[in-house]
Amino acid sequence: MRIVILNDQTSVAEAAADIFVDQVSSKPDSVLGLATGSTPIALYKVLCHRFSCGKLSLKGCATFNLDEYVGLEGHHEQSYRTFMNKHLFRHVDLLPQRIHMLDGVADDPVAECRAYEDRIREAGGIDLQLLGIGQNGHIGFNEPSSSLASRTRIKTLTPNTIEANRRFFSADEFQPRLALTMGIGTIMETRHVLLLATGKEKAEAVRQAVEGSVSARCPASVLQFHPRATLLLDGAAASRLEDTQYYLHAEDENRHL
């Protein structure tokens, strides 16, 4: 695991954007795995800016989002498709036919998840997978107790996650309790995982993911087994790590390589 501790959320977004730009420059037809939630919004803003300055083109890329709520149409205001349109898709040159998202209202969710896995495989696998982390250590919507070998499937959200996401829904609005999500096994097959965490609410989950035992209690801890996982953290999210001095030292040394 590469642990990069940065000053603030802006530096995390800029560093993540650099990794995306490098990926797409070295492979213009990259397959990108994308995430929603509050954390990547700043990154998407930077990517849109770089696109508008001519420093990035996603025309050759394909994208696969991690998850989608069950029961929300793609055009619903709180669907992850709407989120992605708002924060990224409508501002860049991705071709609509190369944008892949799980369908939260599919008649047959099991077949939908299986087909999603097939589409990822047919696209050649995911080159760079963006992740956030839940306060309970979830990645995608793989909640604690998810099989570390799980594939894309339907998942029951924990009360904790429902509560954390309540801020996005108005009081009288239907809030989904189920989601379709890429599995942990699916995420582990991606070639490079880029996890972003900002804010002190994530500090305990980050500590368990990086320095705790690998366990389904903290799904993100499985990234300790990933051959190429980069974690970009702000100081608050890194505040509970014990080996901070080593992570800073290693980054410093790597700059001279």
Which positions are catalytic?
67, 136, 138, 143
Nearer to ligand F6R, 51 or 83 (CB): 83
Q: Which is nearer to ligand F6R, 134 or 183 (CB)?
A: 134
CA dihedral 51, 55, 58, 64 (to 10 degrees): -80
- Residue 94 corresponds to which tokens in the numbers above? 């991705």
- Residue whose C-beta lies closest to ligand F6R: 132
Residues comprising the chain, all counted: 257
Which lies closer to ligand F6R via its Cβ, residue 67 or residue 112?
67
Is 33 in contact with 66 (CB distance < 8 Å)?
yes
Interface with ligand F6R by CB under 6 A: which residues?
35-39, 66-67, 132-134, 138-141
Residue 79 · residue 71 · CB < 8 Å:
no
Nearer to ligand F6R, 26 or 67 (CB): 67
Identify the bridge partners of residue 218 per DSSP, sorted by sequence position. 215
Return all residues near 20 (Cβ < 8 A) that are at least 6 apart: 32, 43, 47, 56, 128
Q: What interhelical angle do 41-52 and 9-26 show, nearest 10?
A: 50
Closest separation in Å from C-beta 148 to ligand F6R: 16
Shortest Å distance, C-beta 26 to ligand F6R? 25
* Residue 254 Cβ vs ligand F6R, minimum distance, rounded to whole Å: 26
φ and ψ of 173, to 5 deg: -90, 145
